[in-house]
Chains A and B, each alone.
Chain A
Amino acid sequence: MNSEALQIVKSVVQDLSGELGYDGLHEVSSETALFSGPDSIDSLSLVRIVAEVERVAEEKLGKRVVLADERAMSSRNSPFRSIGTLADLLTERMGE
C-alpha cells in the first residue's frame, strides 16, 4: 500500500475516533481492525469515515476518489475491515 494512502486513512480514523466514541481508535496502525473487538465500528461510523477519507484524499490529491461503489461493496472480502485494507483500497483508487 501507498504510504500517503495509509497516512490519510490513519489520520482520518484517529481524528474521528473521539467524535465517534471509539477510544481504541485514538492510535491505529495498518493492522487495526475496524470490525472486530470492543471498538468494532457501526455502519454510520463507517459512512462518516469513508466520506471523510474521500474528502481528505480529494483535498490532498486534487482529484475525486470514490471508495464506496459497487465494486467495493460486492468484494468477497470487505475492503473496509481494517485500516490496512482501507488504505489498500484508497491506493488502488488513487491510481485510477
Chain B
Amino acid sequence: MLPVMVITGTRKGIGRFLVDRYLEKGYLVAGCSREGFEEPMPKNYSHYCLDVAEEKAVISMVRDVNKRSGPISVLINNAGIASMNHLILTPTATVQRVFSTNVFGTFNTMREVAKVMMSAKYGRIVNFATVATPLNLEGEAAYAASKAAVESLTRIAARELAPFNVTVNAVGPTPVMTDLIRSVPKQKMDALIATQAIRRMGEHDDVANVIDFFISANSDFITGQTLYLGGIN
C-alpha cells in the first residue's frame, strides 16, 4: 500500500512542484486548491476544489481521502496567500482574508488530519512559515503576523500530538520565485536577500529538502521546530 500524503494549495507554485516530487517518491497524493487542477491529472493524484478556510469542505476532503486511499501519513500545509502593503493602507478585509487561509486553513487541515494520524499512531505534519516573521519585514504586517500564528500553532500542536507519534514542524522559506512575490519590487527583494547569510533566492528544491527531512521516518525526535532557509534566524 502506498503512503498517503495531503498537500494543500497544489494548483501552482511550490505546491504544484511538491505534487510531482512526492508522486515520484511513491506517495499517493491528494491535493486541493480553490480552483481546479490541470488536466490530465497525474497518476496517483486526486484533487479537491475547496477553500481550506471552509471547515466543512476540509472535513469532507479528509474523510474522502481516508476512505479511498487509507490513513494519511503526511500533511503539507502549503496553501497560503500574501498581502504586501503598509499597515495604514491595509483594509481589515485583507487581513481577514490572509488569516482565513494561512491560519484558519492550516488549523482546519491540521485538526482533521491529526485525528486520522492519532488513530494510526503515526504522522508527519509540515506547515509553512516565512522569513518575513523573524525579519519583521515592513509592508508585510498581515502576512508575517499570520505566519507567526502558524509557528505558534506548530509548536503547540507538536506538544499535543507528540504522544500519538505525530510530529509537527514548519519550514520558513526565503523568497522563492512564485506568484506570491511576483509583484514585489526588485529593489525590495535585493534588500531582503541581503539580510540572509546565504544571499540568493530560494529554489523549490531548497524547500523540498527541508520537507524531506521533516517527514523522514528517522525524524521522529524532531518536532515543534521552524526551520528558516538562507541563514535567517
Binding site for B on A (CB under 8 A): 44, 48, 51-52, 54-55, 58, 64
In the complex, whether B119 has a CB less than 8 A from a CB of chain A is yes
Residues in chain B near residue A55, CB distance under 8 A: 115, 119
**Of B59, B63, B118, which one neighbours A48 at CB under 8 angstroms?**
B118
The number of A-B residue pairs with CB atoms under 8 Å apart is 12
Interface residues on B, range: under 10
Residues in chain A near residue B163, CB distance under 8 A: 44
Residues in chain B near residue A52, CB distance under 8 A: 119
Minimum CB–CB distance for A53 against chain B, Å: 12
Minimum CB–CB distance for A58 against chain B, Å: 8
| 12 A-B residue pairings within 8 Å (CB atoms) | A44-B163, A48-B118, A48-B164, A51-B115, A51-B118, A51-B119, A52-B119, A54-B115, A55-B115, A55-B119, A58-B63, A64-B59
Residues in chain B near residue A51, CB distance under 8 A: 115, 118-119
CA distance A48 to B164 in the complex (A): 9
CA distance A52 to B118 in the complex (A): 9
Minimum CB–CB distance for B115 against chain A, Å: 5
Residues in chain B near residue A54, CB distance under 8 A: 115
